[in-house]
Amino acid sequence: MNKKVVLEDLGLQDYKKTWDYQEGLFENIIAIKIKNRREGAGLETPNHFLFVEHPHVYTLGKSGDIGNLLVGEKVLEEKGAKFYKINRGGDITYHGPGQIVGYPILDLDNFFTDIHKYLRFLEEMVILTLAEYGLKAERSGGETGVWLDVGTPFARKICAMGVRASRWVTMHGFALNVNADLGYFDLMIPCGIKDKAVTSLNIELGKQQVDMDEVKQKLLRHFEALFKAELVKQKTPV
């Protein structure tokens, strides 16, 4: 089993461009697995972890309700935002500057074949990272992602998650609000969950800005420990 994970930080990238890049990596792993099964090739499957920030964009999962986007195309244009229907699970979410988006594209045959465990590990990675900033983050029953003050009238989401998996290969991932402009969340019902707020790490810490690279390093350290993975840095333009 290959525990090495190729890490790429793509910087600020268009959502569709990054989605296409993800799809290419995903399909390559699938193709290797099919070849191994049909021909007994015994080829090693690679794993990838992409960090990225996106310009303002709203994405709707395959089971999502378009009614959870509260504005039309004209308002999106005025806000400089795009909209895509995509092939992950979950409902509607927002990506934008100041948000750390992570896309692990893993062959879970290299780690463990359990999607539920995979999602819980991604959540735990974020929970452990936020604990380093003195925040008690938690899961909320029946709602994928990471929250603060669960079970109170002040519950608020700080990290959204939505993944796709086929033949135990994953894509899409998580979006952690670090220095996010929360005004953009007012244009939708986040993840289709009404009456619950959204927050960002800088707001919780009372800071204007939080060091994004520092947060990324903490996330990666917990990712390596949880998945027993070995990260290998690579600089490859999309």
Catalytic annotation, residues: 191
Tell me: is residue 103 an annotated ligand-binding position.
Answer: no
Tell me: is residue 95 an annotated ligand-binding position.
Answer: yes
Tell me: is residue 137 an annotated ligand-binding position.
Answer: no
Tell me: is residue 225 an annotated ligand-binding position.
Answer: no
Tell me: is residue 165 an annotated ligand-binding position.
Answer: no
The full DSSP string for the chain is ---EEEEEEEEE--HHHHHHHHHHHHHHHHHHHHHHHHH---PPPP-EEEEEE-SSEEEE-TT--GGGB-S-HHHHHHTT-EEEE-SSSSSEEEE-TTEEEEEEE-BGGGT-S-HHHHHHHHHHHHHHHHHTTT--EEEETTEEEEEESTTSTT-EEEEEEEEEEETTEEEEEEEEESS--GGGGGGB-GGG-TT-EE--HHHHHT-S---HHHHHHHHHHHHHHHHT-EEEE-----
Tell me: is residue 93 an annotated ligand-binding position.
Answer: yes
Tell me: is residue 174 an annotated ligand-binding position.
Answer: yes
Tell me: is residue 160 an annotated ligand-binding position.
Answer: yes
Q: Which residues are annotated as a binding site?
A: 88-95, 160-162, 173-175
Binding site for substrate: what residues are annotated?
Answer: 88-95, 160-162, 173-175
